[in-house]
Amino acid sequence: MNYDAVARDILTLAGGPGNVGNLTHCFTRLRFELSDRTKADKEKLAQVEGVVSVVERGGQMQVVIGTKVEHVYEAVCRQMEAGKTSSERASAGEISAGKTSAGKISTGKTPAANKDIQAGARQGTSVWNRILISISAMFTPMVPAIAASGLLKGFLTIARITASGRGVDITGNDTYIILMAATDAIFYFMPIILAYTSAKVFHANEFVAMALGGTMCYPAILELMTGGAAVRMFGIALTKANYTSSVIPIIIGVFILSYVERFLTRVIPEILKIILVPGISLLVMVPAVYLVFGPVGIYIGNAINYVYTGMMALSPALCGAFIGGMWCVFVIFGVHRALVPIGINDVARFGRQNLLAFAGAANFSQGGAALGVMLRTKDRNLKAIAASASLTAGVCGITEPAIYGCNLRLKKPMVCAVICGAAGGAVMGIGGVYGDAFANNGVLTLATYGAFGMRNFLFYLLGISISFFGSALLTWVFGFEELDEGENGG
């Protein structure tokens, strides 16, 4: 694939560089925020080489690429830079398109112009969709590190179980402790990491936000909060809570910080802004977080966890079936982004989660349905797409190529995947399956679900087997209506 040529075609059919207000990417999709959606030609975009599908979700035009999305994204960045006119360069002061580690670029225009374009892109976007977009922007950049943490923890689990079978306890070994620290660090320092990504979303100073998050992880603060004595600030008793590994308090704190900074920027003289804006912001926000917004965030987190655990207490099988069956439907509509923080919060606070276990049933069912398509179809192009999608879903847990490449387009395989995903999730619920890391479900992360005993692990294996092989068998048996020639491109 010629990434530069693909990027050029995508950018042209999206309406050109001037029509792009913001561009991000996740594991499989380019996510465009366009100033004028009518300028984009979605039908032609879907026919571009390497493009699996084009969907509009949450105020974004999402171009599904698959696992090569990062290469295409980088090529689009280059095209965005090359497409700037000389007048744009002059007005931007030769500022280059600002690529970040979060997989995000701006248009290369002045900040005011860029905000105007982004505001236009969000016109008509509901509050709920804006919330989903914000959640995605905050959590997506940390997913690779969280996935790496899960993979490493899976390897350590295998090592611990293997050693235990030989009568050796390696949990006190220095090497084990150091590597285990690497798996837990991203969760322990979650307030600092989320402070950075939240500041990007809310347009606050990233490093002031990180300093605010750092106070939540500071050892002396932790000692105060976990001690027996009451803790007071300015004579007011604080709600005692352990903010290390917390999620919601820092998001609320940075959201308020962004407004405090904007107010101070307006009222403080230019010559004093560089010192007084961050200094006063921190002076205001540290007490505000510990007195008000931190406790509020903890209570919100507890309420969300209460609802989820209540569903589990009501019926683990029903909860597992619902998540296992509907997860990939949520992916299609982008609603899954609202659920991801629940799993991250559970690992951070309790050291375990079952949300992604149930979602794993959905992942494997999509891979199985794609395998059924490959076995059933006589179309060579569709067979190649389905084979690749099945492998990607089963090994890496990335389902978009399977969903958009074949299952959703053919309809019946999607129905088979939903049915078998629900069955697999129900089995996991009955077996009390939990994982000790937030890891995308695939063959590479199977060991993550072996940390809480062999019985639970066997139920997990049974659940994903039902999902994968069941959906493959149903798709192969019941078949589907073959696509017309020309619909299998992209």
Contact of 397 with 441, CB cutoff 8 Å: yes
Q: Tell me the C-alpha distance between 95 and 80, whole Å.
A: 12
Domains detected in the chain: 3-125 (3.30.1360.60), 189-303 (no CATH), 315-478 (no CATH)
Closest CA to 75 of 11, 140, 21, 144: 11
The upper half-sphere exposure of residue 36, i.e. CA atoms within 13 Å in the direction of its Cβ, equals 8
| CB-based burial, 390-404: b 16+ in 10 Å, e otherwise | bbbbbebbbbbbbbb
Tokens of 465: 């087997």
User: With contact defined as beta carbons under 8 Å apart, do 407 and 365 qualify?
Assistant: no
Long-range contacts of 50-54 (CB under 8 A, 24+ apart): 50/1, 50/6, 50/490, 51/6, 51/10, 51/490, 52/385, 52/400, 52/401, 52/404, 52/405, 52/490, 53/404, 53/405, 53/408, 53/409, 53/490
Q: 142 near 186, Cβ under 8 Å?
A: yes
Per-residue pLDDT of the chain (490 residues; tens, 9 = 90+): 788 888 888 988 888 888 888 888 877 788 888 888 888 888 888 888 888 888 887 678 888 887 788 888 888 888 887 765 444 444 444 333 334 334 444 444 434 444 444 444 455 556 767 777 788 788 878 877 887 887 788 888 888 888 888 888 888 899 999 999 998 898 889 999 999 999 999 999 999 999 999 999 999 998 998 888 899 999 999 988 888 888 889 999 999 999 999 999 999 999 999 999 999 999 999 999 999 999 998 888 888 778 888 888 889 999 999 999 999 888 877 667 777 778 887 887 788 888 889 999 999 999 999 999 999 998 888 888 889 889 888 887 888 788 888 888 888 999 999 999 999 999 999 999 998 887 777 887 888 888 888 899 999 999 999 999 999 999 999 988 876 654 554 4
* Helices 316-333 and 412-431, packing angle to 10 deg: 140
Q: What is the pTM of this model?
A: 0.68
d(CA 358, CA 449): 11
Check if 416 is active-site: no
